[in-house]
Amino acid sequence: MAGDLFLPSDMFSAGNMLWACLTRSSPWKGRTLADIVLLVLDGQRPSLRKIPEPMAAAAGAPLLDFLQAAWSPEPQDRPSAAALRQACAAAAAPDQPE
């Protein structure tokens, strides 16, 4: 039970790190901590459109879907660590021929 206490906030943070990896930029660049808190409480999130197309294509839909879900305003709606692992595995898997 104790290990699960902060899992939703961990997944929110994982979303921020993933966005930073894909954009090579801070998701809240130039913002103060107070600004960030207010933006998050207002439901604002960094735009997925700022992820360059080659990076978005390489990440694939499962990882981008995870990213969006990780930023859910409702902690209980955020994905699990297992979902992150699965999304990363899908992104790392070679393309399957059709």
Which residues contact residue 94 at a Cβ distance below 8 angstroms, ignoring those fewer than 6 apart?
none
Query: For domain 7-92, which architecture applies?
Result: Orthogonal Bundle (1.10)
Report yes or no: 79 and 27 within 8 Å, Cβ to Cβ: no
Q: What is the pLDDT of residue 7?
A: 85
Q: From first to last of its 98 residues, what are the pLDDT tens digits of the chain? A: 455 556 899 999 999 999 999 999 999 999 999 999 999 999 999 999 999 999 999 889 999 999 999 999 999 999 999 999 999 999 888 765 55
Q: What is the pLDDT of residue 4?
A: 57
Q: What is the pLDDT of residue 2?
A: 56
